[in-house]
Amino acid sequence: MTATMVRTVDQITRITFETDAREVAHGAYEALLALLERLDQAEWSARTECPAWDVADMVGHMIGAAEANASFREMLRQLAWGKRHKSQFDGNDLDAMNAFQVRKHAALSPAERVATLRSVAPAAVRGRMRFPRPLRHIRGSMPQSGSTAGMPDSVSVGHLMEVIYTRDVWMHRVDIARATGRPLEVDPRVDGRIVEDVVAEWAARHGEAFHLTLTGPAGGAFRHGDGVPQAELDAVEFCRTVSGRTPGEGLLSVLVPF
C-alpha cells in the first residue's frame, strides 16, 4: 500500500476464513519468532507496556494462547480457570486466563519459550481455521474492566479465531520491539493486511466520515464519506492507539479488539 492511493473503507478486503486468515496468521507468528530469536538474555527481562509483564511473561501468554487454539480441551480448561479466578482480576476472566498462561510457562528458559512457541504455532493456526462453522457465530461477552475496558461488549467466536488472535500476536510483537529497542521489521504483505483490516473494523465501529493517512511500510490512505475529519499518523501507532495502548482523541478514542 502507498499513502498516495486513497481507498474507501468498502474497498478493503476483510481478513476472514474465506480470504487469507490462515496466511496472515502464519505470517504474524513467523515475524514474531524472527524477533524473539534475535533477543539476548537480558532483553527477556525488559518490561513491556502491558502491566506486570516482562518479555518472558508476554511470550508465556502467547504460548498458552496458542496451546488453547491448538486443543479444544485445553481451551475449555483455561476458560474455566479464568471464570473461577476472575474476582482476582477486577472481574475480568480474560485477564485471569492470561495470567494462568503466564504462570504455566514461568519455568521455561528463553530458548525453551522460543522452541515451544515455534512448535505449537502451526497447530494453533490449524485449530483456529478448523473451528466448527456452526460455533463461529456464537457471541461471547467482553469484560468491561481491566485490559478490555472500552472494547466492544461482545465478540463472535469466529472473529476471535480468524482475526483477533492474529492481532494479539502482532501487537505483542510490537510491544516486544518497543520494550527491547529492537527495530520492527515491517512486511506490507502481513503487517499491511493487519493494519487495513483494523482500519475497516474501526470505521465500522464509529460509522463517521474520515480521511485517514497512515505512514510507514504498513500504511495507506483511507476515507469514508466526505473524508472529514482528517488525521495522519504512523500505521503502527494508529493500531496502538485504537488498541488502547496509547490514548486517542476524537475518533481515535474508538477501540477495536486486539
Quick: pLDDT tens for 15-35.
Answer: 999 999 999 999 999 999 999
Q: Could you count the other beta carbons within 10 Å of the beta carbon of residue 88? A: 11
How many angstroms separate the CA atoms of 67 and 123, rounded?
A: 8
- The pLDDT tens digits of the residues spanning 202-226 come to 999 999 999 999 999 999 999 999 8
- Quote the longest CA-to-CA distance of the chain: 54
How many angstroms separate the CA atoms of 2 and 196, rounded?
A: 12
- The pLDDT tens digits of the residues spanning 122-180 come to 999 999 999 998 999 999 888 888 888 889 889 999 999 999 999 999 999 999 999 99
How many angstroms separate the CA atoms of 147 and 203, rounded?
A: 22
How far the first Cα of the chain sits from its last, in Å, is 22
Give, in words, the CATH class of 6-253: mainly alpha
Query: Residue 51's pLDDT is what?
Result: 85
**Looking at the predicted structure, is the pLDDT value of residue 95 above 70?**
yes
Query: Residue 227's pLDDT is what?
Result: 65
Cell reading at 233: 499518523
**Looking at the predicted structure, is the pLDDT value of residue 109 above 90?**
yes
Among 53-67, 69-83, 130-144, 200-214, name the one with the lowest average pLDDT: 130-144
**Looking at the predicted structure, is the pLDDT value of residue 1 above 80?**
no
**Looking at the predicted structure, is the pLDDT value of residue 255 above 90?**
yes
**Looking at the predicted structure, is the pLDDT value of residue 36 above 90?**
yes
